Amino acid sequence: MFKKMLPGLMFAILWSTGAIGAKFGIRSADGLMLAAIRFICTGLLFAPFFLIHPKHRFLPRRNEWKPIIIYGFLNSTATLGSFFAAQKFASAGISMLFTAVTPLLIALLSSLFLKRKLTRFEVGGMFISFAGLILASLAALPTASIKPLGILLLVIYVVAYALSSIYLSRTHMSLSRMVFNVWQVFAGGIMLLPFCFLFNTNHVRAVDANLLLSLAWLIIVLSFVANMIWMYLVKHDPVTAASWLYLVPVFGYLFGYLLLGESITLYSVAGTAMVIVGLVISKRKAKNAVTENA
């Protein structure tokens, strides 16, 4: 059972470092430009490996460009671009909290477009986890730093994230998952560049160790490793994959405490416990359902 849970747990841990990496990176560059550089450099960094690797076909066929561009826009340009831009207008904890809405949206869209029926245990588990995250945020909400533009950007983030997950689950990929990921991230970065100039967020203030280390982490760990795990989870079941997003804010608060000096309260501890209980309920029911159908 642990082996089945390991990919989701690893994704949640890695993905929760996104806000931390962004917070460090925007000290040296505008958020949108930081995201665009991250995506484009991901493609440039990994492309040579796949070009010379005999096992993977690197160049997409004509009919493969459409899913690359659509998913690249939804997952990289809209989702992560808006998230990075929001870091200027919202605290890391509040940004992570918005992630909690995504599983609910993915579950709703899956029931509408994929005809994926939700069990009462899955629904109950999701709402217990969601309530846990609200509880964990109670202490921070009265003094939280967020502006109206930050709210708008984070709403775009969660909606685009949900849509990209549903789209990917319905997409047949003849390219290997690793090659598809490199192309979609690179395409997303190219499509993000016009928005950088449109909103005057195209500045790199300093090419320093802070910027380079931030980019190294975001490119290798987030854009490649974490994205690969997410694509693996979504292709199996977008609803089950989405449930792991509830752990992202939990780890986000932990890393915020360790690296940014943000506080951890009793609300955070109690909320974390509720998140874990909700996940256990959802996972146990999913396992029982598989057993019954076998």
pLDDT tens for 227-275 read 999 999 998 888 888 888 878 877 877 887 788 776 667 777 787 788 7
Strand partners, 19: none
Q: How many C-beta atoms surround the C-beta of residue 54 within 10 A?
A: 5
Residue 148 CA: distances (Å) to CA of 32, 145, 153, 216: 18, 10, 9, 31
pLDDT tens for 146-189 read 677 888 888 899 899 999 999 998 888 888 888 999 999 999 99
pLDDT of res. 40 = 96
Q: What is the mean pLDDT of residues 212-237?
A: 91
Nearest-5° Cα angle at 188, 178 to 93: 95
CA pair distance 135, 147, nearest whole angstrom: 21
The proportion of the chain whose per-residue pLDDT surpasses 90, expressed as a percent, equals: 32
pLDDT of 108 > 90? The answer is no
Q: What is the pTM of this model?
A: 0.78
pLDDT of 200 > 50? The answer is yes
Residues 83 and 153 sit within 8 Å (Cβ to Cβ)? yes
CA pair distance 42, 218, nearest whole angstrom: 9
Instruction: Using alpha carbons, select from 91, 92, 85, 73 the residue that is nearest to residue 33.
Output: 85
Residue 245 CA: distances (Å) to CA of 10, 57, 122, 143, 148: 11, 31, 14, 24, 24
pLDDT of res. 113 = 80
Backbone angles phi, psi at 291, to 5 degrees: -65, -40
Instruction: Using alpha carbons, select from 82, 71, 78, 84 the residue that is nearest to residue 169.
Output: 71
